[in-house]
Structure 1
Amino acid sequence: MIIEDEQDIALLMATAMRDNGYRVVVAHDGAKGLDMALSEQPDLILLDLRLPKMSGMRVFHALREHQVDVPVVVVTAWRSQELVIEALRLGVKDYLSKPFALKDLLEVAERALTEERLRRERDALTEQLLASNQELERRARNLVLINRASTTLTSLLDAHDVLDLTVQHVVEISGADYSSALILEPDGQHARIIAEHPGRKFADLRVSLPRSPSVQRTLELGFPYAFKDATDYPILENQGQAPSLEVSSLLLAPLVARGELIGILLLASLGLPRTFSDEEMEICQTVASQAAVAVANARLLQDVQQQKRALARKTQELMEESSKLDAILSNIADGLVVIDPTGRIILSNPVFREMVGLPVDRSLRGSLLAGYFTVANLQSLVFCAQDAPSQVCTENLELPDGRVLKASATAMRLQPTLLDPAQEEQIAGVAIVLRDITHEVEVDRMKTDFISAVSHELRSPLTAILGFASLIKRDINRSLSPYVDAGGKASRVIERILENITIIKNESERLTRLVNDLLDIAKMEAGQIKWQMNETDLRQVIEGAVAATAALAEEKALVTRIYLPPDGLPPICGHHDRLVQVMTNLLSNAIKFTKQGRIEVRGWRLDVDNGALHTSGPVPSVYREDAAAQSALSALPLSEGEWVVVSVVDTGIGILTEDMSLIFDKFTQVGETLTEKPKGTGLGLAICKEIIEGHGGRVWAESEYGEGSNFSFALPLQSGDSEEAEYSIEDEE
């Protein structure tokens, strides 16, 4: 703003200022200039001292009286040094003497504006600094109070003591008339006053929490809530147990620890209503939070102490159980060793250490099992237990000194924990039980040798009996029957003789089959039978067995149907005649135990991929992919790869559940509940098992009593084009 009475100079100054980006207003006398200065509030005033109506000094004094703190630069032609000094003393920023250069005018104006801007910034910063200092002092004072409360609270180990000091501190800090701490009960609708200050007017009072939206908001959001007028607030009203409290204003702060609401801290004004400031609410909530944590810690300490006592009792019980277990492990006759997944020993008993030739009192914990016990098939036994954790894997181990140990391995499974129920089951190790069966093996060998010798000795008289029975029957038919009158007494005697000879011949043949079965099972168990393994077509095996049992099926009016994939079954490496023997035994059993219905032979394929079972072909319904996991098939220790499976399905009487584990045992026949049990040696299925397992396969059965049975065997598909396996030799006849 320019206040100049000489219009030419005023125009010159205004033009120069506008050309440099300033917005300019001009007044030509002092009175008008004062009015415009008061209304326009300019950033800078260029003021002449000699003005009509009101001098420049009077204008300056009037501006200060109106508290208009605008920088003023005096532009004058007066040469009075005293006047200039007086103007500067009163607060004029600068002065410019007429005549002046426009450059000087612009410099003076810019300098005055810069100084004013810097002054305002300084004043603003000063105000901010003062306000910050005041805020820091206030916060420091609050922090001292809060820190003192926090230090006291965290040093206490009892929840009641914590709450007693909490209500005392909040009353001291906030200046409230009353404070109490309420702990929520499990139902969430009631609370109990644990501590209060001053006095003990409501101590241990159980109150019902009101269903006020404000209280609900406080509890749900975890923030404090203040009631300026709480005369009708019912949380401490008379509930039949104590007199009511005359509350005028109220502040509620939730006690929240680890995200859980455990109670409420209550502050009340009992006199005139008051407004709780944000600072008071913040302090109250801070103390409430610290109190809640301290209460939770006190409770946790109490729980820890209880758990510690329980742990001590449990430890004592475990030590007693451990002593019992050590006594059991030290006195059992079998060797026991437990290894972790890396093969290191976790536990071993004295019998095991004696078996491997170590001092019985030496600890093997942490040592590699392979470093002390190197026996063929041991590693494969461990792998079997790890791959099939739900089964017990067994193997006979032959030691270098000739002893034979029966090893049973079981995987130790870790179940998912309560903290992480989704965690997959893990294998913690393998427990191996070793029993010295050297004597049993020797006895079994002697038994096998005895059976073999007796069987060989029985063959000669049986051959003679069969031969002579056939000759006698032939001679009677040839030499006597034609010469005896039919229907006469002699004819009847001859018929009776022929019937007896037939019985002798049939029983001799049955005894011969029994002897042959005994020889087979004895040689198989002794490992004396080895088969020539060639590429074998299972279709021919199945058809041959069906043809061999066709007469037996026709006697009972049964039909045997064969179901194979359209492209047939792939060839396997096996012994043709022995596989025909297996199929014949299975079909004979199915026919014997089926009175009516049908017999089915189904050939199909099974692929084991990462433990998953995939079937194809004419699969029995129980083994289709949607049901295979629930069948006995899923429990078989089948290795990864492709298998050919043959199933014999009948609609016979079925097998009782309790008999299923016995059907492949020697000399065992099930079905004693029948009035007429089919005749047999009880060795057929045992021989089938030995033959199939000799081919590297597996045989199993499933049955539902009264509905029929399903006998199946699986043979592995051999890789390679060799027509004969390396281990094959001629069958010993």
Structure 2
Amino acid sequence: MAGERVLVIEGRAHDAAFLIEEVLRPDGYRVLRAKGRGDSVHQALTARPDLIIMDMDAAAVPGFEILEELAERGVTVPVILVTALRSEEVIVHALRLGVVDYVFKPFSPEEIRAAITRALKVGRTRSLARGVEQVNSQLERKVKELGILYGIGKAVTSVLDLEKLLNRIVEAAVYLADAEEGFLLLVDEETNELYMRAGQGLGEKFAQGFRVKVEDSLSGQVIKTGKPIMVSGPEDSKYKLKTGYLVKSFLHVPIKVRERTIGLLSVDNRISRKSFTDHDLYLLSALADYGAIAIENARLYQRADAEARQLSQLLAERDRAEAEHQEEITRLTYEVQAQREAVVQGLQEAEQLAQELQAQAVLAEQLAERLRARQVQAGELARRLSRPQPVALRLEGAVPGVGRVGLRPVLDTLDEGVLIGDEQERVVLANAVAARFLGSDAAELVGRDLRTVCGDERWSAALDRLQADGSSQEVTLWLGDYVIRADLSSLREEDGTRTGTVVMLRDVTRETEAQRMVDDLRVTVSQELRSPMTTINSYADLLLAESVGIIGGAQRTLLQRIKDSVRTMNSLLNELLIPQPVTGGRAGAGQGAEVAQLVEQAVAQVQADRQDKKITATRAIAGDLPPLAADVKIVRHILVGLLENAYRCTPAGGTVTVTARTQVREDVPHVVISVRDQGGGIPAEELGRVFNRYRRDAERVIPGVGSTGAELAIVRALAEVCGGRVWAESDPGVGSTLSVILPAQ
């Protein structure tokens, strides 16, 4: 790969000149030169080369001093030693100082090129290892944050001491935001002031006297607007939180109960110049929600306790007024007391269950966010792996004008395969990479018809299209263990006369595997998270129906928030399953998907992609089909997935049949859509695996199934999202039928 920066630490001038002029610059490397210890170390630290080549002459001591200083300064760039000293002691000492390879003088260009390739590979491996360490460090930080939030969530439902719990929330806020100080303020409704309820790092005397007016303070702005404030400025800036109390940065987050702001949670830095981030805001918002729940629970408990005390007092007065009816009054008292205890116990159980469900919902949302981040990383990895190598070759003009003898060595240096054909489509030139992809020898390919070098029918179809309209063609081929992307173009004279064909073959096996990993991740996320989301939603419905006890307005609001969060999570899962985002909320929300129109759209899309197979698509759509109660985009994706599978396994010139009919299940109308192919059928023992996830390289491919990865598994997951299901039927020796049933309006 050309373009890397190579620092050459010179020894003898003619050796360095030979290395630079005969090897490095012709191969496209960017050359940096240094001489002497000071210059060498300076350039290694400032220019950040990808490789260092050290020319060590008879005076080996300066070279070792350079290596020792580079090691002391933490430079991890791979080093190649070029030396005429064939001493085992010198080589061992150099390797201990970080040299990854060595070449003895005199050396050939091939020897130094091989050493450069090995050393650059070591450098890339080291860079990748550093990246992995950074990712692991970030994950460890996330795990600690989740552990703290989980502990606070449990404490909200188990710790009865409100003072202790609020102090734990402030301590967690200071730790998670890496702040110097933190405090929790509540509104005194009588004086319209904010007073301190809990704090850390402020000093007891200062905390006891901390009061600020709501009208003329930044803290009061949070109370009035209900929105957080995050402030940090230049190094010499300071902000006033209270008279005589200046800080360099701070973050205020509101504490809300039933959309009413009752206080705020804050962290600040008085000495450090560290600024707070949106991630800090997110963590403090979660802690503020816990604080709101704890405060509201305490108020509810105090209110219930006051009501119980008032009831007890009334009962006592009634006892004194009706002493003559002591026995009846005593019995009534026992009944009322038992009822009060049952109500209090039911209320506490409902509150505890609601809080646990909310904590689970928060954890589930964070898990989904982490998985989505992993998906982005997997997609980025796929794009990096698929990035083509630079091609230092541009063919212009017709084949007869190209000098084959001079061109062949250049083509053999490419990472892409190259085939050049004349106007009769006979191969006149092929490099070694193309021969490897096609399972042949380069010399054997020369003279063969371009159409015969590859047996894939898509190859012949692409050549036909190229010859018909002259526009460049792109086609993906499966050649043994390789997945190859072929780009076909015409060679022309200046007057436009076609003189031949040039084909570039690029290995996209890793890109294809990375895309399969992304699809696999979508299905995994859906299957692993949808079940707990359903459980959380069911428990919330159970509580809202008061099946386990009477709940109050505050608990009903919290439970409704849980259900809203579950709906949000389901929307995120739907977005993961479909390449483009699905709007309109929950799948299957009754958007009136017309079956006949969707079938025509899906058939047109798949036929446009599979024109070369000349497959006929027949339809048998019932005329009285009701609209589907499902998202249009989801249904279209399901139909395209089933049709893609049928087209893949049906031979060229065959027929694919699509049928749709109405079926009533449990008094609810449904629509059954079936796609039948002519792929020879699926063995009976394999029918249960058709819609499961499987790997091409890890399990056997199912006969009669065109999908080779997660496509049909995604179809199954989408059908389940809409409240439907999928199944497979087979006619051995003829074909198979894949069906989906979906609820109608």
Question: Could you tell me the TM-score, scaled by structure 2's length?
Answer: 0.30
Report which of the two structures shows the higher radius of gyration computed on alpha carbons.
1
Which is helix-richer, 1 or 2?
2
Question: Could you tell me the TM-score, scaled by structure 1's length?
Answer: 0.31
